[in-house]
Amino acid sequence: GAVVSQHPSWVICKSGTSVKIECRSLDFQATTMFWYRQFPKKSLMLMATSNEGSKATYEQGVEKDKFLINHASLTLSTLTVTSAHPEDSSFYICSATGLGNQPQHFGDGTRLSIL
């Protein structure tokens, strides 16, 4: 149980393109979803927290207009990297949690490469 699916797993695109990443909870209702960024050989950096039906809460230093997060349903959150540039290249990981003391369950990540 507690499966989180993240799509796509790998994206290569040109500078200036906007890229959408989907995160789905397949077998539970995700009241809260989290988006992380991970640099090579580094820990995870929390970008934002999203609760279903409300605006995402962004961490300090994360541009909300650059990284658009939508959490329209209890099973789906999306992260859109707008007008992506090479410095946005990274490994993006989502996680989801439901009610109670559930641990966060993570997707398999999306490797984003901007040329």
Partner 1 sequence: AQSVAQPEDQVNVAEGNPLTVKCTYSVSGNPYLFWYVQYPNRGLQFLLKYITGDNLVKGSYGFEAEFNKSQTSFHLKKPSALVSDSALYFCAVEGGATNKLIFGTGTLLAVQP
Give residues in contact with partner 1 (CB under 8 A): 2, 4, 6, 32, 34, 41-44, 46, 49, 91, 93-95, 97, 101, 103-109, 111
Asked if residues 84 and 20 have their Cβ atoms less than 8 Å apart, the reply is: no
- Residue closer to partner 1, measured from CB, 16 or 26: 26
Q: How far apart are CA 108 and CA 115, in angstroms?
A: 23
Asked if residues 6 and 73 have their Cβ atoms less than 8 Å apart, the reply is: no
- Residue closer to partner 1, measured from CB, 46 or 76: 46
Q: How far apart are CA 55 and CA 72, in angstroms?
A: 10
- Please, what is the minimum distance in Å from the beta carbon of residue 73 to partner 1? 19
- Please, what is the minimum distance in Å from the beta carbon of residue 16 to partner 1? 26
